[in-house]
Structure 1
């Protein structure tokens, strides 16, 4: 069969691979039954559903004709680099790197750092708007994770809180 929509085909392939990997990984846990679910039941179910959605999208990409074939464009390197760098920075700022002597900076600093780095991935960058967004995200995450869920992790840098 000929692929009639490259974008749909490869996105469906990605869904099917990720779903299959989750389903296979979930078999390492106790599955249980639908009446008494084990820890692997939900990831297995989600993985199978995601894989089936991916297979459906791949099938549709080979059957439904699109006007230009939905060719895949070039890689968007700038957003890819800044978003991955922002995620790595979040982990480093939240937990620190003791082997390199970098202390844990806490949730608030991690969110601010990540927001400023990831915002560089877009076409426009306005410091005032990014600062407002980082402030709102920090307050929201503090309320959700620390106040409501009572999670125990550093909120402020360790050299401030002791």
Structure 2
């Protein structure tokens, strides 16, 4: 009974395994939300402090620094609230996975190395096909279909819509050797 009263009052628990502030004190915080909240708060503080160099103005006549400062502090407060909630709520720890970040980094490097030599079409097809391995739910046909669809969409946007000049095919196919 005493432990329940102390938990409702936000006081430290007595004994080893009491529940305080709605969670077991031995439970780890939800690390994903905690880290995300801290990053969000840090970016918000940075934005608010960086924008101090601009004229702030007033609510009636806003200067160029008004909006970034207000949004930065709101972002910092929201990030802090997310981090605090993650500590109170608790949750699972992060299960670090090396494969997804290494795959993305490798594909970015591969894209940079291949684009001039293989052209946009083959580079996108290969890189996107490799990235589909981040999903365990796709079949081979699904991987190929996703790669082709995103390649066509990317070509439509960058080459057709924006007019960005990129070699579409390898020079050996265009020049014949």
TM-score range relative to shorter protein: 0.5 to 0.7
Task: Please name the residue that 2:21 is paired with.
Answer: none
| Structure 2: runs of 5 or more not aligned | 1-24
Judge conservation of contact 1:89–1:113 (CA < 8 Å) in 2: no
Structure 2 vs 1, CA of residues 4 and 75 (structure 1 numbering), >3 Å: closer, same or farther? closer
The aligned runs of 1:119-130 (5 Å cut-off) are: 119-124=132-137, 126-130=139-143
List per-residue Cα deviations over 1:58-78 (Å, max 9, x = no partner).
233244x3xxx2121321222
**1:9 aligns to what?**
34
- Whether contact under 8 Å (1:83, 1:118) holds in the other structure is yes
The 5 A counterparts of 1:131-150 are: 131-150=144-163
Residue 20 (structure 1) shift: 5.4
Q: Tell me the equivalent position of 2:83.
A: 58
Which TM-score applies when normalising by structure 1?
A: 0.64
SS at match of 1:92: helix
| Number of corresponding residues | 145
What is the RMSD of the two structures over their aligned residues, measured on CA atoms?
3.9
Q: Deviations over 1:52-110 (max 9, x none)?
A: 542332233244x3xxx21213212222222222222222222x4xxxxxx3x222122
Give 1 or 2 for the bigger CA radius of gyration: 2
Q: 1:138 to 1:8 in 2, by over 3 A?
A: same
Tell me, yes or no, if structure 1 residue 86 matches structure 2 residue 111: no
Gaps of 5+ in 1: 97-102
TM-score (norm 2): 0.60
Q: Residues 10 and 145 of structure 1: is their aligned pair in 2 closer, same or farther, counting only changes over 3 Å?
A: same
Tell me if structure 2 keeps the 8 A contact 1:13–1:54: yes
Native 8 Å contact 2:44 2:75 kept in 1: yes
1:73 alignment partner, one of 80, 94, 99: 94
- Deviating more after overlay: 135-144 vs 113-122: 113-122
